[in-house]
């Protein structure tokens, strides 16, 4: 085969080097000016190759730009979401904080009213009188609001950096008795039997307010979901840990839902007739875990639930 001009192999290699570098000195004019027909074919082929490669690299650049755009948009959406969550948590924290003071005043006022005109006062109105009933209702609603506000505060505290525990030496048996005493009115209203099996003191070092919250949430759930049947609480000490059991004989929790009820806002299908936010058990679990303990559940539908809390001493 005969090539015009310089060595054809060198020329082809030169064109290939150009194409590799993203350039090409072949044009329609240079192809037409090429006297050798075979070389013309090769040049045409190289020109098409260059155009294909240029097109492919433009496509790749466009695809990369699009991917960059998608990644930037995703980052922007994530940032928006982070800010929205932060705003929500801030709102929850401020709202709960602001609500706490007037609610505490309201609760004191209700206590005062119950003491002066309620059934326990020296001259109580008749049990069925509107005063007694209305005060009872008012007190329950204030208690419920207070619990909701405490839960709101806890959510913002836990999600915004975890729980700060202040462990102090205490007797878990005393603490449980105090909580049960505080539920006295509620227990009487529901006419439920609540027994505490606590043969001896159970000393340990725990955050009193937080452990109180654990017992309060478990007992209020046992009352709420216990179908009016007896509730048994037990407190026992072992050498390295304390065991607290709250047992009811109420609606129970289906087996396939037992894991999820410890999540935030999680509720079992058996709870559908009882109002709630689904935060209590989540908070309980957060407190127990922050205290290096654990909580377990044994429950059967229509037979009841047993929550066992283990706390290292
Ligand atoms: P809430 O009672 O406000 O819904 P909790 O976080 O305290 O929220 O409980 C989560 C869910 O676990 C409840 O909605 C209920 O379905 C279930 N649950 C908790 N305690 C009991 C119990 N003692 N008996 C039956 N179900 C319970």
Q: Is residue 226 part of a domain?
A: yes
Q: Is residue 95 part of a domain?
A: yes
- Ranking 63-67, 112-116, 202-206 by mean pLDDT, the lowest is 112-116
Kindly state whether residues 105 and 222 are assigned to the same domain.
no
Kindly state whether residues 212 and 268 are assigned to the same domain.
yes
Kindly state whether residues 107 and 217 are assigned to the same domain.
no
Q: Are 304 and 247 in contact (CB under 8 A)?
A: yes
Sequence-distant (6+) residues with CB within 8 A of 304 are 226, 229, 247, 248, 249, 250, 251, 252
| Mean per-residue pLDDT over the chain, rounded | 89
Q: In what order do the strands lie in the sheet with 294-300?
A: 194-197, 231-237, 241-247, 304-312, 294-300
Ligand 1 pocket, residue 250 CB under 6 Å: yes
Kindly state whether residues 295 and 181 are assigned to the same domain.
yes
The residue nearest atom 2 of ligand 1, judged by CA position, is 276
pTM of the model: 0.70
Q: Is residue 78 part of a domain?
A: no
The domain total for the chain is: 3
207 backbone dihedrals φ, ψ, rounded to 5°: -80, 110
Spatial separation of the C-alpha atoms in residues 89 and 106, rounded to whole Å:
25
CATH number of the structural domain spanning residue 275:
3.30.565.10
In the predicted model, is pLDDT for residue 227 greater than 50?
Answer: yes
According to DSSP, residue 263 is labeled: S
pLDDT digits (tens, 9 = 90+) for 122-154: 555 555 454 777 888 888 888 888 888 888 888
pLDDT digits (tens, 9 = 90+) for 69-90: 999 999 999 999 999 888 887 8
- The domain of 193 spans 168-312
**pLDDT grade for 3, boundaries at 50, 70 and 90:** very low
What pLDDT, on a 0 to 100 scale, did the predictor assign at position 298?
Answer: 98
Kindly state whether residues 57 and 106 are assigned to the same domain.
no
**267 CA → ligand 1 middle, Å:** 6
Spatial separation of the C-alpha atoms in residues 281 and 214, rounded to whole Å:
8
The residue nearest atom 21 of ligand 1, judged by CA position, is 221
What pLDDT, on a 0 to 100 scale, did the predictor assign at position 104?
Answer: 87
């Amino acid at each position: 085969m005969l090539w015009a001009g310089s060595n054809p192999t060198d020329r082809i290699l030169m064109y290939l080097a150009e194409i590799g570098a993203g350039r090409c000195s072949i044009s329609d004019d240079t192809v037409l000016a090429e006297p050798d027909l075979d070389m013309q074919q090769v040049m045409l082929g190289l020109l098409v190759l260059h155009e294909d490669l240029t097109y492919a690299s433009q496509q790749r650049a466009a695809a990369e730009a699009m991917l960059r755009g998608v990644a930037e948009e995703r980052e922007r959406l994530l940032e928006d979401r982070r800010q929205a969550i932060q705003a929500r948590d801030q709102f929850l924290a401020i709202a709960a904080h602001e609500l706490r003071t007037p609610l505490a005043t309201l609760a004191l006022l209700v206590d005062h009213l119950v003491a002066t005109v309620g059934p326990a006062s020296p001259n109580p109105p008749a049990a069925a009188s509107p005063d007694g009933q209305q005060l009872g209702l008012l007190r329950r609603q204030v208690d419920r609001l207070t619990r909701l506000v405490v839960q709101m505060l806890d959510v913002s505290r836990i999600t915004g950096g975890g729980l700060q525990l202040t462990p102090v030496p205490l007797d878990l048996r005393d603490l449980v008795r105090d909580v049960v005493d505080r539920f006295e009115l509620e227990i009487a209203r529901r006419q439920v039997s609540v027994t505490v099996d606590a043969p001896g003191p159970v000393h340990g070092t725990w955050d009193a307010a937080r452990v109180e919250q654990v017992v309060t949430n478990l007992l209020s759930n046992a009352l709420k979901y216990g179908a009016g049947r007896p509730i048994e609480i037990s407190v026992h000490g072992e050498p390295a840990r304390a065991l607290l059991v709250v047992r009811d004989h109420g609606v129970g929790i289906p087996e396939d839902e037992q894991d999820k009820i410890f999540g935030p806002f999680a509720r079992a299908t058996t709870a559908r007739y009882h109002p709630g936010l689904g935060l209590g058990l989540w908070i309980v679990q957060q407190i127990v875990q922050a205290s290096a303990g654990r909580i377990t559940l044994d429950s059967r539908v229509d037979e009841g639930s047993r929550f066992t809390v283990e706390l290292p001493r």
